Structure 1
Amino acid sequence: MATPPAPFTPEQPLAPEQPAPAKKGSRILKKVGGVVLAIALALGVKLGLPYLTGDAPVHAKAGECVTVTGPDNDPKVDTTDCSSGKADLYKVVKVIDDTFDVNQCGAELSALAQQLESDKFVLCLEEVAAK
């Protein structure tokens, strides 16, 4: 017959349970994974958010019509039907790539410098008369 364990007395402290020791490699892997996830999330927000919200610049082609809204320092350009009769409707006369020089459109046209990812360009615009 086995002897029963000694009864617990208040003078004996309870031994705290020790968690299993984590492997050093798994901690490093978790840290690296967290950093990679944070970078991926930041890039996704920076590059993807304008496209999800519709705030990305439009690289319109000559002959298309666009509406221009928003403040002068942050205009929003959207392509639209030329017969829509919308306010702020412009026809793209020409597109000048690889520049922000709005003076290349000449004095008779309105110009709008835009950047889409690494592409920079100027839209030379002619106002469409409202119907």
Structure 2
Amino acid sequence: MTTPPAPPAPEQPAAPEQQPAAPAKKGGKLLKKVGGVVLAIAIAIAVKLGLPHLTGEAPVHAQAGECVTVTGPDNDPKVDTTDCSSGKPDLFKVVKVIDDTFDVNQCGGELSALAQQLNSDKFVLCLEEVPAK
């Protein structure tokens, strides 16, 4: 007597091939963080050094003999050079410039004084009012 062959085993679905897990890219994350920090620093420096010059808000380092207009509040005056014959309001002639100080008393009592800072340069403009025409 012969034994009948064993019934075929039910087919099991093939297990998905497992690939080894890719190593985490720590270098990529670190590079992104460092790049972000460097970018933030670069933007901060650009804003600090460039934005006032681009927007025209940087203090003017006028020379003696030039004329300037002074506008804005006393605690944040805006100074712009202009033609001495312009007849603009708030027009002053720069009598002298005193570098490396904020001491407005060095201009004396007869002149107006305005302390300014441009980057690392600090100076005082000694001003004489130009009468309106």
Q: Which TM-score applies when normalising by structure 1? A: 0.83
Hey, what's the Cα distance between the residues in 1 that align with 2:78 and 2:12? 80
Partner residue, 2:97: 95
42-51 vs 116-125, which moves further: 42-51
| Number of residue-to-residue matches in the alignment | 123
Percent identical: 85
Hey, what's the Cα distance between the residues in 2 that align with 1:128 and 1:28? 61
CA displacement at 1:6 relative to structure 2? 7.0
Residue deviations 1:11-46 (CA, integer Å, cap 9, x gap): xxx9xxxx9655222221111011000111112112
Q: Secondary structure at the match of 1:38?
A: helix
Q: Secondary structure at the match of 1:31?
A: helix
Hey, what's the Cα distance between the residues in 2 that align with 1:29 and 1:128? 59
| Amino acid paired to 1:65 | C
For structure 2, list consecutive stretches of 5 or more residues without a partner in the other structure: 1-10
Structure whose CA Rg is larger: 2
Counterparts of residues 1-131 of structure 1 (less than 5 Å): 21-131=23-133
CA displacement at 1:48 relative to structure 2? 1.4
